[in-house]
Amino acid sequence: MLSVAVIGSGIVGSSLAYHLARGGARVTLIDRAEPGGGTTARSFAWLNANNKTPRAYFDLNLEGMRAHRSLSDEPDLPGIGGYTHWTGNLIWAGRDGEAALRQRVERLQHWGYAAAWLDAATTRTTLAPHLTIADPDAPVAHFAGEGWADAPGLTTCLVDAAVRHGASLRVGTDVVAIDTTGGHLTGITLAGGERIAVDVVVNAAGAGAAAVSRLAGVPLPMAPTRGLLVRLALAGAPAGPLLHAPDVNIRPDGPGRVLLHHDGIDTRLGDRDEVSPADPLVRDLVAAAIRVVPALAAATTLDARVGVRPITADGHPSAGLLSALPGYVEAVTHSGVTLGPLLGRLLATEILTGDRSPLIATFHPDRFLRT
């Protein structure tokens, strides 16, 4: 029986653990935090292929969206469909961003993606009556096939299924060494000194992926960025589509909850890992949200969380078995919530059978060996 250690119990690692265990491997899933408690819990969790280029990356994300839909058909994942919400998404831009948005919509339509234009009045009447758009003439792009996920819930469901298939879950510990003999991977050592002999190690450590790659002695250049999420509570919080306004992104986060984010706020975070709900950045984000959805003026700020996005140096996934170290696999990507279920399935197949999917052909980790 093939023995596999998966380092990282976010949605990518948990998906891998599930598909590997279901495929007959002996799996150990390892994380210092509870499943889904790291980067996965600090993601806006927007399910999309919206602004993904080049075409190969778009295709991968589009298939990732399809993989989410197909999870609900798997009999050993009962209830998992309840963690994804296909609400659609609305985007409008200020005057300086309108041309770029039009080019994006044109490209997506050419690629067969569900993208259409609405005017502000129609948007409010048919999709988001709670919405205020400052410029009544602003065109609104509607992406009907997009949605959002309860990423920690999805992750827990995948981990539970992996355990039912025989996987072992080890939380509250770190991998401190990846052991090799004669250029072949032989096992891992945990922080307490315990050694586990394995045939394969999967680096699905998210924001900690570069540290794991250093244990393996292989290059994984990263360009991580920090993102601030603010969660609001409001009885009867408006539901409906995700909203991407010029100054704020807003989505539902379950009954009576709303989640806020914006890249412009992220650029002001610096290297901070914690932000108080009373911080000026939080106040600015909430104020921008109120301008778009005035009902949020009555909301309470529940918390503010900073997440680190695991983005490689070229912005694309590092996914597959590294040729320089047999038995070492990388599963490192931004957009992990969109891609997690798909990458777990594709990489499990590659590990178990040697068959590599064309979808990830251009995202092989060997490309970083040449940099």
| Cβ neighbours of 274 (radius 10 Å) | 8
Q: What is the DSSP letter of 348?
A: H
What is the mean pLDDT of the segment spanning 283-299?
Answer: 97
- Judgement on whether residues 181 and 317 belong to the same structural domain of the protein: yes
Rounded Cα distance, 150 and 253, in Å: 8
Rounded Cα distance, 360 and 362, in Å: 6
Which DSSP helix (H) or strand (E) runs through 173?
none
Range with lowest mean pLDDT among 56-60, 136-140, 145-149, 247-251: 136-140
| pLDDT of res. 173 | 96
- Judgement on whether residues 123 and 229 belong to the same structural domain of the protein: yes
Name the maximum alpha-carbon separation found in the chain: 67
- Residue 129, exposed/middle/buried by CB under 10 A (0-12, 13-18, 19+)? exposed
Residue 215 has pLDDT above 90, yes or no: yes
- Judgement on whether residues 296 and 243 belong to the same structural domain of the protein: yes
Residue with tokens 């996914």: 319
What is the mean pLDDT of the segment spanning 19-26?
Answer: 99
Rounded Cα distance, 313 and 232, in Å: 33
Q: Crossing angle, helix 11-22 and helix 151-164, to 10 degrees?
A: 20
| pLDDT of res. 371 | 63
| pLDDT of res. 175 | 98
Domain termination residue (choose one: 282, 309, 336): 309
Residue 124 has pLDDT above 70, yes or no: yes
Residue 146 has pLDDT above 80, yes or no: yes
Mean pLDDT of all residues in the chain? 96
Residue 95 has pLDDT above 90, yes or no: no
Per-residue pLDDT reduced to its tens digit, 343-356: 999 999 999 999 99
- Judgement on whether residues 26 and 130 belong to the same structural domain of the protein: no
| pLDDT of res. 214 | 97
- Taking alpha carbons only, the member of 327, 338, 325, 336 closest to residue 368 is 325
- Judgement on whether residues 305 and 168 belong to the same structural domain of the protein: no
Structural domain count of the chain: 2
What is the mean pLDDT of the segment spanning 258-265?
Answer: 98
Rounded Cα distance, 310 and 308, in Å: 6
- Judgement on whether residues 157 and 296 belong to the same structural domain of the protein: no
Look up the CATH number of the domain holding residue 295: 3.30.9.10
Look up the CATH number of the domain holding residue 7: 3.50.50.60
Residue 31 has pLDDT above 90, yes or no: yes
- Judgement on whether residues 181 and 243 belong to the same structural domain of the protein: no
Top-confidence residue, 47 or 181: 47
- Judgement on whether residues 301 and 347 belong to the same structural domain of the protein: no
What is the mean pLDDT of the segment spanning 242-248?
Answer: 98
- Judgement on whether residues 105 and 201 belong to the same structural domain of the protein: no
What is the mean pLDDT of the segment spanning 261-289?
Answer: 97
Residue 48 has pLDDT above 70, yes or no: yes
Top-confidence residue, 351 or 371: 351
Residue 130 has pLDDT above 70, yes or no: yes
C-beta of residue 159 within 8 angstroms of C-beta of residue 170: no
C-beta of residue 250 within 8 angstroms of C-beta of residue 293: yes
Position 88 confidence tier, pLDDT thresholds 50, 70, 90: very high
Domain termination residue (choose one: 309, 326, 359): 309
Residue 363 has pLDDT above 70, yes or no: yes
Residue 78 has pLDDT above 90, yes or no: yes
C-beta of residue 93 within 8 angstroms of C-beta of residue 133: no
Domain termination residue (choose one: 309, 335, 361): 309
- Judgement on whether residues 52 and 183 belong to the same structural domain of the protein: yes
Rounded Cα distance, 150 and 67, in Å: 15
What is the mean pLDDT of the segment spanning 5-31?
Answer: 99
| β pairing state of 184-190 and 195-197 | antiparallel
Rounded Cα distance, 67 and 51, in Å: 19
Range with lowest mean pLDDT among 180-184, 195-199, 239-243: 180-184
Rounded Cα distance, 246 and 140, in Å: 11
User: Which residue range is the domain that position 254 belongs to?
Assistant: 84-147+224-309
Residue 39 has pLDDT above 80, yes or no: yes
Rounded Cα distance, 300 and 297, in Å: 8
- Taking alpha carbons only, the member of 191, 182, 185, 222 closest to residue 314 is 222
- Percent of the chain past pLDDT 70, that is, above it, reads 100
- Judgement on whether residues 99 and 139 belong to the same structural domain of the protein: yes
- Judgement on whether residues 216 and 241 belong to the same structural domain of the protein: no
| Cβ neighbours of 79 (radius 10 Å) | 9
What is the mean pLDDT of the segment spanning 10-32?
Answer: 98
- Taking alpha carbons only, the member of 12, 16, 40 closest to residue 27 is 16
Rounded Cα distance, 180 and 216, in Å: 8
